[in-house]
Structure 1
């Protein structure tokens, strides 16, 4: 049995985009999804993913606010922010900022790199929280 797959939480409010991105990421990673920032934060606390991928424009809580709250709970958590904006206030809480339209190869590469970092540093995953 090989190593466990990197756990990813994808937070995206657009249902079609969420479904498509989840399907593409699932080829390489163990993916959970959430439709907004509040549900994303709850899923982060319940699932303890290696990497959070979040859209910036979310109802109820911006992606940058989600990133900040995730980092407050787990400073070594890894967060990728996806944004259509050229300048993002609060992006300092994110490890990587990717611009829309999303380049899936770049996204997968970033998830893989950050996921491995999170595991090496014990930032997330099953054994780091229990």
Structure 2
């Protein structure tokens, strides 16, 4: 029997927290809930979750600071929930270590799909840990075994999602990947309404790697620029 996965839900809205907890419990997860930043950090240390669902806006210590501290203590996949749909707010969340995000209001179906996709990526990363391959594309060097990225010799820290997206593009430099295909390959589902997720992660990659690394093909998708 597979080990039950642990999910920590950090959400101050009791209605949302209860709905998320009940749905994830029904999906077979072991779920704990925290209502503010202080409770969240204590629960994180005691519960040692496999994944965190984190509200961006919390009383006291906000979600961004919670995410920073969580990733500094023990890196774990973080799915951030945000009522702030502006691109800048999303990129800030990705910049402090969130692996993915959902904009409120969201469907429970999509939440569960994102959680499963994040956990599959962690499993896949573990399976690939022994495969020592280096992918080079221009100034970018990707170590698949160590999951490390270098630009002109300087290491750049990426989230799990950013790394997986970059590696997928780097497997075929110059080839255009449709947004729907990237959603299926990286997030584990393909819905036209969710392609904004891909766009946000590409923008986050550009901020970290430089604007000339990933090329936009308007109306189609993205490609890693050939050297």
Q: Settle same-fold status: TM greater than 0.5.
A: yes
Q: Give unmatched runs, 5+ long, in structure 2.
A: 127-227
**Does the residue aligned with 1:20 lie in a helix, a strand or coil?**
helix
How many residue pairs match? The answer is 120
- The normalised TM-score by structure 1 is 0.84
Q: After superposition, where does 1:1-130 map in structure 2 within 5 Å? A: 2-28=1-27, 29-75=29-75, 77-87=76-86, 88=89, 89-92=92-95, 93-118=97-122
Distance 1:65 1:42 in 2: 14
Q: Which runs of 4+ in 1 moved over 3 A?
A: 116-122
1:33 CA displacement = 0.6
Query: Does the C-alpha gap of structure 1 residues 50 and 83 become closer, same or farther in structure 2, counting only changes over 3 Å?
Result: same
- The normalised TM-score by structure 2 is 0.50
Distance 1:108 1:102 in 2: 11
C-alpha RMSD of matched pairs (Å) = 1.6
Query: Larger Cα Rg: Structure 1 or Structure 2?
Result: 2
Where relative contact order (Cα < 8 A, 6+ residues apart) is larger, the structure is 1
Distance 1:31 1:12 in 2: 13
Distance 1:73 1:118 in 2: 18
